[in-house]
């Protein structure tokens, strides 16, 4: 009996503890449930607020988004200057000789003009009828963005189904921005925001009229800013990247923030091989860039930009190391002419600062020069021969004539010796004519050892390239080449300037094994 009581005490104690723990658990559970319910309710209210914001933005902006339908007559580009192998088989040779020119012209003549249609979106930016869109919406995508337009008919359909004929106010292929206008008053115009304040991770909505459908709204975030090298046909690039779905026909439509402000003009999408359509990578022109272009197109009918007069090259890690930089930055001058040359800039200079702002890369440099405009005097800081130098440059106006003068007339490309895994030889007149190096001098790369230092460089040389410069010493012939090689024979890395065919020159750093 004693033993049994002794046993009952711990059992009773255990039962009491168990009941106490269970009660405590239930109490905590009830409080936890209440807390969870409160948290869940707060989250739902937050989602509802975001949902309401999306709905409000869509209601506010949709009336300003229009459909743009264009029919253009484009002048067919001339064949003059076409490279061998580009012409159809009947365009020359025995085929044409056998049948004769008259037969050829009658049966194989090509139309001088081509009729094109294009469909896209636009956004009303002024109540009196000004509409912002893409240049390629008007003339079509691809190389035709710079086409010579003989005739253009534009139809604009508003949100309320009204249709208007539109006139071109101005087109700027260099940014893919265009402005058109319809004869209407009191139109619903959007509010333009400030794309410079845009943050990666912000919510954005893309609105447009893809594939001829009525308004389509997609949501996403800003994935990145300052994207360049997106489109080969666009000179000035500073794109906003977003995962908000931008589909065919969305081009020219607005990208808006959560406050309903337009912060970009939808322009392009990235595609993957074998996967058609949007893959979640879209690009928009920042509204600040588009607004500046639009203002000039309305006021002047064209865009006036600053011109420095340099060919530039991006800085890779080898070049950065060669110039004493911890990481790539700035741009390397391949050739200087115009204002840059007059101010004292030289090929081989590494531009680090433009008018007080650090230069990130080539696109950044081009955009800053263009935005500065002509006749402005700017300070440019460079690294030359390991030393920092500063120059004052008065920018000129970028015109087609000025750009045309940037031909490689000052570029020097021209025998057989081996160095750094390359064999070189004298450039003969016959080789110059065959390889496209007429009126140029330098030494010709005749071979590259696949296991040598030259082959391991970034953007390595290959047979047929011309060596123009070694460590900033100009190479005109084999004597210059030998002298330059002798000077750098003990260096671990060497900066070399090259040119390939009729293309532009570039720099490469070759390191010894």
Question: Where in the sequence numbering do the catalytic residues fall?
Answer: 136, 176, 251
* Secondary structure string (H, E, C) spanning 385-432: CCEEEEEEEECEECCHHHHHCCCCCCCCCCCCEEECCEEEEECCHHHH
Up-side HSE of residue 440: CA atoms within 13 Å toward CB?
A: 33
Q: Which of 344, 355, 306, 348 is nearest to 331 (CA)?
A: 348
Query: Strand, helix or coil at 292?
Result: helix
Q: What is the H or E stretch that residue 317 is in?
A: helix 317-322
- Tokens read off for 376: 């402005």
> CA-CA distance, 322 to 511, in Å (whole number)?
10
| Residue 257 phi, psi dihedral angles, 5° rounding | -90, 180
Q: For 272, which DSSP code?
A: B
- Tokens read off for 468: 């123009």
| DSSP string over 183-232 | S-SS--PPEE--GGG--TT-EEEEEE-GGG-S-EEEEEEEEEEEE-S--T
Contact by Cβ (8 Å): 444, 414? yes
- Tokens read off for 102: 């008259």
Give the pairing type, strands 396-397 and 493-500. Answer: unpaired
Residue 402, Cβ density class (10 Å: 0-12 exposed, 13-18 middle, ≥19 buried):
middle
Burial 407-421 (b: 16+ CB within 10 A, else e): ebeebbbbbeeebbb
Residue 450, Cβ density class (10 Å: 0-12 exposed, 13-18 middle, ≥19 buried):
exposed
Q: For 275, which DSSP code?
A: B
């Amino acid at each position: 009996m004693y033993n049994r009581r002794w046993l009952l005490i711990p059992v009773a104690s255990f039962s009491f503890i168990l009941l106490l723990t269970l009660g405590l658990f239930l109490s905590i559970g009830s409080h936890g449930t209440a807390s969870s319910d409160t948290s869940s309710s707060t989250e739902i209210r937050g989602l509802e607020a975001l949902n309401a914001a999306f709905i409000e933005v869509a209601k506010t902006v949709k009336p300003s988004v229009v459909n743009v339908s264009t029919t253009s007559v484009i002048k067919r580009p001339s064949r003059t200057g076409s490279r061998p192998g580009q012409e159809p088989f009947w365009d020359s040779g025995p085929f044409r000789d056998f049948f004769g020119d008259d037969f050829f012209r009658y049966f194989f003549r090509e139309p001088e003009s081509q009729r094109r249609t294009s469909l896209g979106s636009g956004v009303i930016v002024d109540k009196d009828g000004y509409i912002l869109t893409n240049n390629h919406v008007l003339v079509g995508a691809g190389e035709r963005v710079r086409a010579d337009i003989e005739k253009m008919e534009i139809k604009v359909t508003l949100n309320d189904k009204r249709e208007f004929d539109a006139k071109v106010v101005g087109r700027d292929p260099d940014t893919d921005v265009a402005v058109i206008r319809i004869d209407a008053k009191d139109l619903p115009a959007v509010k333009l925001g400030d794309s410079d304040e845009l943050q990666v991770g912000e919510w954005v909505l893309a609105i447009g009229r893809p594939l001829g459908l009525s308004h389509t709204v997609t949501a996403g975030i800003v994935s990145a800013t300052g994207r360049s090298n997106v489109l080969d046909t666009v000179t000035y690039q500073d794109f906003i990247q977003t995962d908000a779905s931008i589909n065919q026909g969305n081009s020219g439509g607005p990208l808006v923030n959560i406050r309903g402000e337009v912060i970009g003009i939808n322009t392009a999408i990235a595609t993957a091989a074998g996967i058609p359509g949007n893959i979640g990578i879209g690009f928009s022109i920042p509204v600040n860039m588009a607004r500046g272009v639009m203002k000039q197109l309305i006021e002047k009918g064209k865009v006036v930009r600053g011109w420095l007069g340099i060919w530039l090259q991006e800085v890779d890690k080898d070049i950065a190391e060669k110039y004493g930089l911890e990481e790539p930055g700035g741009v390397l001058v391949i050739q200087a002419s115009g204002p840059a040359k007059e101010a004292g800039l030289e090929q081989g200079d590494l531009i680090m600062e433009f008018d007080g702002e650090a230069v990130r890369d080539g696109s950044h440099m081009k955009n800053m020069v263009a935005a500065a405009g002509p006749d402005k005097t700017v300070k440019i800081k460079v690294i030359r021969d390991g030393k920092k130098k500063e120059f004052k440059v008065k920018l000129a106006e970028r015109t087609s004539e000025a750009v045309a003068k940037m031909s490689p007339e000052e570029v020097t490309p021209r025998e057989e010796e081996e160095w750094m895994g390359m064999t070189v030889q004298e450039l003969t007149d016959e080789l110059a004519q065959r390889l496209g190096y007429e009126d140029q001098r330098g030494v010709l790369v005749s071979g590259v050892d696949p296991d040598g230092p030259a082959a391991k460089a970034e953007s390595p040389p290959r047979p047929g390239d011309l060596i123009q410069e070694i460590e900033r010493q100009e190479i005109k012939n084999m004597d210059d080449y030998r002298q330059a090689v002798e000077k750098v024979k003990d260096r671990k890395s060497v900066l070399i300037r090259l040119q390939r065919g009729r293309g532009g020159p570039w720099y490469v750093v070759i390191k010894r094994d």
